[in-house]
Amino acid sequence: MTEAPLIDIRNATIWRGATRVFDNLTLSIAQHERVAILGPNGSGKTTLLKTINRELYPVVAEGAWIRILGREHWNVWDLRKQIGVVSHDLQNLYTPMTTALEVVVSGFFSSIGVHGILAERVSREQLAKARDTLRMLGIASLQRTPLQSMSTGQQRRCILGRALVHEPQTLILDEPTSGLDFAASFDYLSRIRKLSATGHNIVLVTHHLNEIPPEVERVVVLKEGAVAADGGKASVLTSGVLSSVYATDIRVAELDGYFLAYPGQAHHKT
Ligand SMILES: Nc1ncnc2c1ncn2[C@@H]1O[C@H](COP(=O)(O)OP(=O)(O)O)[C@@H](O)[C@H]1O
Ligand SMILES: [Mg+2]
């Protein structure tokens, strides 16, 4: 049996409010694939990720479809059991007093915070798993610390814990290292690399080529609501492709499986 793709979008037009973000988009990402999504601000990267985990529910026209794990219709709670989401602004949705343990536990319910009725539904096993997750991320000592007393890097680790606690096969990461210093972002990236190595399906949005782990094989570049480039890393991360997409001169260097963008014209067309 062939495995259904994580996402299979055919000829979809996706609106957000009055903005048509994607027009006639066709894109497929298989399970177990590791993909980086690049593109200028406003090109639709976040919209694409929100479409995958059904935060956005686009209307699709006749003959068009958006299938997630083989299905057009999902109970979002069933879907989110299979997907872990990290976004750079997720921690801001929590009240500042929320503790690390509460943030991680909320991942079991795909919720923001665990209050009232929900708090009663937290099982002993879930609490134990959440503590294990905090330990694995090196923030066990923060379990009772409120978000407001943590560094951005610590807050982001809590959000990663929230995404990992229910052991999803797929991780969706929207600029997970934005605002982090070198130590925090490299630490974060090494955790993502380990998850790649254990066969997780990873979709990573980033603005920094050097933050694309060597394990990521495929890069999709979005521009103005369309796929501007899609293919193997070495074929997409070139001076020619990036200079054209970002409408500015960009050169690209490669070092040990990592890529780096820097300003200027390439001497020869790559
Ligand atoms: N809530 C919203 N309502 C209306 N338009 C939106 C909303 N969120 C984003 N957009 C628009 O959708 C387009 C794509 O945004 P987004 O997916 O956030 O881009 P990216 O993540 O690549 O920066 C932009 O033109 C943006 O202005
Ligand atoms: Mg975005």
| Phi, psi angles (nearest 5°) of residue 6 | -55, -50
Average pLDDT of the segment spanning 207-225: 95
Closest by CA position to 7, among listed 75, 83, 62, 63: 83
101 band by pLDDT with thresholds 50, 70 and 90? very high
For residue 226, pLDDT over 90 is answered with yes
Closest ligand 1 atom, CA of 222? Answer: 22
Cα separations in angstroms, 225 against 13, 18, 44, 48, 235: 9, 14, 6, 10, 21
Mean pLDDT of 101-113: 88
Out of 13, 15, 16, give the residue to mutate to test ligand 1, the one with the largest number of ligand atoms within 8 Å of its CB. 16
CA of 125 to the centre of ligand 2 (A): 35
H helices within the chain, ranges in order? 45-52, 76-80, 100-106, 116-121, 124-136, 152-164, 182-197, 233-236, 239-246
Q: Is the pTM of this model over 0.85?
A: yes
pLDDT per position as a tens digit, 232-255: 999 999 999 999 999 999 999 999
pLDDT of residue 118: 64
Instruction: Spell out which residues line ligand 1, taking CB within 6 angstroms.
Output: 16-17, 19, 21, 39, 41-47
In this structure, what DSSP letter does residue 16 have?
E
Q: Using the atom order of ligand 1, give the atom closest to the CA of residue 205.
A: 21
Q: How confident is the model at residue 113 (pLDDT cuts 50, 70, 90)?
A: low
CA distance 39 to 55: 21
Whether 1 shows a pLDDT value over 90: the answer reads no
- Closest ligand to C-alpha of residue 18 is 1
124: which DSSP letter? H
Q: Is the pLDDT of residue 112 over 80?
A: no
**Mean of pLDDT over the chain:** 92
Tokens of 136: 């694995």
- Residue, of 199 and 128, whose pLDDT is higher: 128
| pLDDT above 90 (res 115) | no
Q: Residues 170-193: what's their mean pLDDT? A: 93
pLDDT value for 58: 83
Gap from CA of 119 to ligand 2 centroid (Å):
31
Q: What percent of the chain has pLDDT over 90?
A: 79
Instruction: Kindly state the average pLDDT of the residues 81-101.
Output: 92
Q: Which pLDDT value is given to residue 161?
A: 95
Average pLDDT over every residue of 6-31: 94
